Every structure is written in C-alpha cells, then in structure tokens.
Structure 1
Amino acid sequence: MPGRGSGNPGPVFSLVMTAPALLTAPDTAAAPAVPAPSRLWTPKRVLVTRSAAERPHGQRVLSRLEAAGVDAIELLPGDRLPSLRGDDDRAAFMAAKDTMALVVPPPSKRKLQPIPPSADFRLDLAEGCPAHCQYCYLAGSLSGPPITRVWADLDEVLEGLDDHVGRGTVTSGTLERGGEGTTFEASCYTDPLAIEHLTGGLSRMVEHFGTHAWPGPVQLRATTKFDDVAGLLVLPHGGRTRLRFSVNATAVDRRFEGATAKVPARLGALAAVAAAGYPVGVTIAPIMPVDGWREQYAELLDGIAAAVPAGHDLTVECITHRFTPGSKETLLDWYPRTKLDMDESRRTTKRGRFGSVKHVYPRETMAELRGWFEREVAERLPGARLLYWT
C-alpha cells in the first residue's frame, strides 16, 4: 500500500524511447497499416514488488519495459511500496503521475463486481492512468497518490473467469443486451491502451477471450483515449473484444484532456481496429453543453461515421459530466487552474442508495442534451446501437 516503507530500492536507471514513423502490420486484409501512436507514456519511475517480479505476467511486463528501453526500474525487497507523499502536494502529485508500480493486488481487489451500465463484471488489469483529464473519474474513486498500479497476477485472474459466465445481471440474460453475452469491463479504473506498450496486458486479455473455450458467450470491453493499436490488429480476437474509443467535442478535448491522443487520432485508431474485424464502440463522455455544442458534437458524429464502415458492429454510450464533493476537492488540488465548470449552483443534486451525492446537469438541460443525441445518433450513425444514456 502507498505510504509504507519498503527498504532500499534496487538500481535506478534512465529511460529512452523512440517510435518509428510508421507501424505496419503484416500484409493481411484484417491488419491495415496504421500511423505510429501520437502519444506514448514514459514513466520516470517504475517500482516492482518482490511478489510481482515472481509472477509470469510480471516477468513479461519487465521484459517489455526493458525492450522499450525503460531503465528507471526499482526492484523492491518486499511487497510494500515506498511513500510517494511529500511536503509539496503539487510536486507529489506530478511525481505520482509519472510513476508506474508493478504489484500483486490484495484478494479484495480481485473479487469481480458488477459495473452498470457498462458490463456484468469489472476486470481490472491496472488502477490509475497516466493521462491528465481535468474531469478525471478516478479522482473520486481511488485514494492515495495517483500512481498507475499494474496488476501482475493477470494470468490467474483470466483462468478463473469461467465460473462467472452466465451469472451477470447487466448484459447476461437481458432482453436489450443479452446478445453481448457475459461482459467484462477492462477500463473501469485505468486506460488499458495507455499502458499497453509497457505491459501487454490488453493483448493478453484479447488473446485469451478470443481463443479460450468458454462455457457460454462472452465479451471483453475496453475503452481508451489513446491510439496505439498496431499491436492489437493481428491478434486472434475472435470477435469477442469490443474496443471503444472515448471521444468528445473539440472544445472539451483541447481544454480538459491533457496527455492523451487527440480525438482525430482516436478516430483513426477506431477505423483501424474496425478494419481488423473488431466490434467497436464510442463512449461520448463527458458530454458538456459548451458553446456551440450542437455543431461540435455533430462534427464528432460525422467523424465517427467516416471512420466506421456502414453496417459494422458499432455501439454508442453517452455519459454526461457529473462530479461529487470529494472528486471536486481532489480535482481542484490536482488542477488548481482548471476552467472546468463545477459550480454546484448550476447543477442538480442526485443521491444514491447509500446517501452518495452527485452533481448533475438540471433536468431541462439533461432532457435537451438527451433528445438531441438520440435524434442525431440515429440519423448520423444509422445501424449503431445506443446502449445507454446517463
């Protein structure tokens, strides 16, 4: 756990990474050439616990880090991470965002939980994200310094999924989404593509879902704000992984989504994975009624239509911006100069079953947004399925 001492670290080195100008997949119809990724995260520090280094997946991650030229690796003598807190909260935050930890999570982290409205079960390969989205959903969900923790026990987790097939309640057995089978969401607490070049975890998941003899229909789901998809194009996915791209209006992308691939690059990656036969999706989130929002979101929908061939399996998920008192406090600590609108007087309070509070747009605004998106998605993306609005 963060905040605990860990003894003397192992050797510390430096990192150098270069990318070719063009990544070209093998010459097959399902594996088109794609541009080199526009954004690759370079952690300045990698912490590896003893148990993580002993796991097969942990060893694969270490090999990928070394192959990528990442030398800033500290092999810890035990399973506790050193403290990442400091006297300067801003400096501690930036140091944490530049740090990756390879660990074995406690058993409590591995109990699969439903994740409505997205999927039957949450299937984490990591917690934390290197991006700098000023509305970050993790601000209200994860405690401690925001380092990216990569789970080293991925193999054991994948081996235990059979018992969950057919037991979900979000998609399994439902009239609306039963055709998706038992769904597993890999991007609840991380962006799996943001760290894929360093971990290979998403590829491992895709291959397992695509080749394993399952006791019933299943689907892996992952969403991303990145575009490094070249390594996914030739995998034996078997149509059992839906890759989705989180996209937004130009104003939101430019102002609030730092250290990510920009939306045009994400749409290029969307086109590439659709051409490789993956079922695909877009997560339009967080929707904000910025100036000119109708024109900007119409342009976005047209860009999606141009990226995905007519008749391809495409889903749309729409999530409006919301925040909690706790997430607002954290986000203002992280991004004190943000221009993100978090004025409670301009919102409606929504309470959960256990007294949780969320600040959402007023009913009139929500109705206007929802009505527009439902009409325009149907017109501009005919054949796409709008899974939910929230």
Structure 2
Amino acid sequence: MTNAGAPDDAVEPSGAPPRRWVPRHVLVTRSAALLPHGAQMLARCEAAGVRDVAVLAGDRLPSLRGSEREVYARAKQTLAVVVAPPSALRPQPIPPSADWRLDLAKGCPAHCQYCYLAGSLSGPPITRAYANLDDVLAPIPGHAGRGSVTTGDARRGREGTTFELSCYTDPLGLEAVTGSLSTAVARVGRGEFGDGVGLRFTTKFDDVAPLVGLPHGGRTRVRMSVNSAAVAQRFEGGTATVAARLAALRALAADGYPVGLTVAPVMPLPGWREEYAALLRDAAAALAGIPAPDLTVELITHRFTDASRAVLLGWYPRTRLDLDESARTVKRTKFGGAKYVYPAPLMRELRGWFERELAATLPGARLLYWT
C-alpha cells in the first residue's frame, strides 16, 4: 500500500530544491515524434524551458564535432528522444542485480569520474530516451517466472522475476523530462504485467516527488547509490548530495516502497573506515521511525578496464581517480576481457569490515551481494 501523505520535507530536505537535470539541447527523431510517449517527452522538455529543441527530418542523429572535451560537454547537455532498436527490446540477464535488464534509456546526465558506462557505450555520451515505451515494457509477461537471480531464489524470491532499469542509465535523473519511470512503476504496480514481477533501479538523484503516491504496489525497489564523503564530493559531479539522496530514500520508504542502498563503487581511500561508518550511521538515521523498512544493501567495489580508463581520462584529464593497474589484480570476464580489481587480501578486508558494520548499524538490512 502507498502512503501519499509522506511529508514534503522528507522529499526536499531543509527546503532545498531537488536535483533535476534539464538538457540544453533536445533532438527528436522523426519516428519518435510520431509516438504518443515521444510527443509527451517533447512537451515535457518544452515545459521545462528547453529552447533548443529540434525535431529531425529522419531517424539518424547528427554527428557532434569538436575536440574530445567539446564533444563530451555537448553530448552531456543533450537529450535525444529516439525509438529503441529491436536489439534493445530483448531483455538480457543482469546478475547479480536482477533476472533481466530493461532499458528505458541509455546514457546518464551525471558526471561521475568513475562512470562504468565509459567502457560500455560507444560514441559521444548523448542520453537517449526511448519513445516506444510500450515496446520496452512488452517483454515483461513473457519473462515472468524465468531467470536465475530472484526467480525461485529462497532469499529473494518474494520479489518475483525482477527487471533492472538502471543498467545503462539513471532513470530518476531523466524523469522530469521523460516521465518514463513513473509510467513504468505505475503500470507494473497496478498489475498490468502480472503479480509475479518487479522493477528495480538505482539512482544518484533525489527528485522522488513523481514517485511518491503512485500505485506502486510494492513492486518497485528503489535503491540510492551512495558513497563515502571523499568519493561523493570528489568524483560525483552533477548529482544530488548524499544527504539529499538519503532523505529521498526515507520518503520512498515512508510511501511503502521497498528500498535499498547501493554502496558503489567502494574505494579504500584514506580514512575509509571512518567515512563509510558515518555513511551507514547516516542511512540508519534517515530511516529511523519508519516501521520495519524493507531495506537491502548491495556492495560493489571499484574496477576498470583498459577501454574505460582511456575514455575516462579523455573525459576527465585532471581526475584524481586511481587508475593504476599495477596496484590491482586482473580478473577475466566471461567474454574473455580483463578488468582491474583490488587485490584479494584488500577485498577480504573490505568485505569483512562492511559485513560487520552493516550487522551493527543496519541490522534489519539484507546484504544481497558483494562484488
């Protein structure tokens, strides 16, 4: 059940406005403009005050020109409303988070200097929002009861077959100009796709007002991506503060949503024990007074690849992010690639510390996985 009476100050702490992304440039392909949801996104952008809106004559996006930094800056200020291609409409397994991945969009407006999308998406980081939302959601019934993460799992099976919405984007960060997330949450919450399915997404934004009061039916788990003060302040540009994210988490929990913390990427910077301990205490304080919140925790350590490092150094040439492979261990992926992770002794130390601190500080939380 939802609680539409969640206090306003839980959504916007201390009267501060929530962090909203409004693009400077909007490109709408011809096919996207013809779809009802595409037209709604176009109207949202215009209502948000975007002046540079172009409805294209065709379905190909124009190339961006300039230096790598200039192209990056322009791309990060651009929203493209497009039609998802057939390849994006086939759910893919996404362990350990969920059974399947669904993409409402691809690309993110934030400026996180460790961005894992850097090695996953090709070309300039334009955010592409999908206008054919009905097609994106259509595979859900056909995948219900199938999957290897939550479906049939003794610990997580009560969530049903789960669909991750934030693999390639931050859907809440786009919500003001797309409306896609609230539409998906409400449709799944009303049971349009059956009772045994659920949505999940993680976010670094705090504008949860569009979600509070929706008929979510407890079928969407919202996780706030949080980190230590040093990581958040140094590497997470263009996002809501961690304090604002935790206040938003409280508003969602008060409204009956299952909620979670995604502590990612865990980085053992100087003073990491004290800072992560403070983070967990802040999370506990944010949820104080909420009766038995359904809270999960996911712990993801920092890692990078040769490809992502090259892209990130092009985007953020002055970054202080540790990208020294000599201090890491090489881990092979199932596709034969290599990623650089922390050495095994440090990983054991980090994991043991977090498990102890979580048990002491957030004893009601369920740790879903460590990676």
Please report the TM-score for the alignment, with normalisation by the length of structure 2. Answer: 0.95
Native 8 Å contact 1:37 1:227 kept in 2: no
Q: How does 1:187-336 map to 2 (within 5 A)?
A: 187-308=166-287, 309=290, 311-336=292-317
- Picking from 10, 17, 29, the partner of 2:5 is 29
Q: Taking every aligned residue pair, what percent have the same amino acid on both sides?
A: 63
CA shift in 2, pair 1:319/1:310, >3 Å: farther
**1:63 is the counterpart of 2:46:** no
CA shift in 2, pair 1:28/1:45, >3 Å: closer
Q: Which residue of 1 aligns with 2:327?
A: 346
Alignment: residue pair count: 364
Q: Which residue of 2 aligns with 1:362?
A: 343
Q: Distance in 1 between matches of 2:152 and 2:350?
A: 30
- Picking from 45, 52, 60, the partner of 2:25 is 45
- Code of the residue aligned with 2:305 in structure 1: it is T
DSSP 3-state at the match of 1:101: strand
Structure 2 unaligned regions, length at least 5: none
**1:162 is the counterpart of 2:138:** no
Q: Distance in 2 between matches of 1:190 and 1:157?
A: 14
Q: Distance in 2 between matches of 1:179 and 1:340?
A: 39
Q: Distance in 1 between matches of 2:195 and 2:116?
A: 32
Native 8 Å contact 2:22 2:48 kept in 1: no
Native 8 Å contact 1:132 1:257 kept in 2: yes
- Identify the range of structure 1 (176-185 vs 363-372) with the bigger mean alpha-carbon deviation: 176-185
Q: How does 1:108-187 map to 2 (within 5 A)?
A: 108-187=87-166
- 1:68: Cα distance to partner? 1.6
- Identify the range of structure 1 (238-247 vs 173-182) with the bigger mean alpha-carbon deviation: 173-182
Q: Distance in 2 between matches of 1:61 and 1:315?
A: 32
- 1:126: Cα distance to partner? 0.5
- Code of the residue aligned with 1:313 in structure 2: it is D
- 1:53: Cα distance to partner? 0.5
**1:255-294 Cα shifts (integer Å, max 9, x gaps):** 0000100101111111111111111001000000011100
- Identify the range of structure 1 (346-355 vs 327-336) with the bigger mean alpha-carbon deviation: 346-355
- Code of the residue aligned with 1:387 in structure 2: it is L
Q: Distance in 2 between matches of 1:71 and 1:93?
A: 20
Native 8 Å contact 2:25 2:50 kept in 1: no
- Code of the residue aligned with 1:212 in structure 2: it is G
- Identify the range of structure 1 (313-322 vs 167-176) with the bigger mean alpha-carbon deviation: 167-176
- Picking from 347, 355, 358, the partner of 1:377 is 358
- Code of the residue aligned with 2:328 in structure 1: it is R
Native 8 Å contact 1:31 1:233 kept in 2: no
Native 8 Å contact 1:165 1:216 kept in 2: no
**1:310-329 Cα shifts (integer Å, max 9, x gaps):** 52100000000000010000
Q: Distance in 1 between matches of 2:291 and 2:281?
A: 12
- 1:28: Cα distance to partner? 4.4
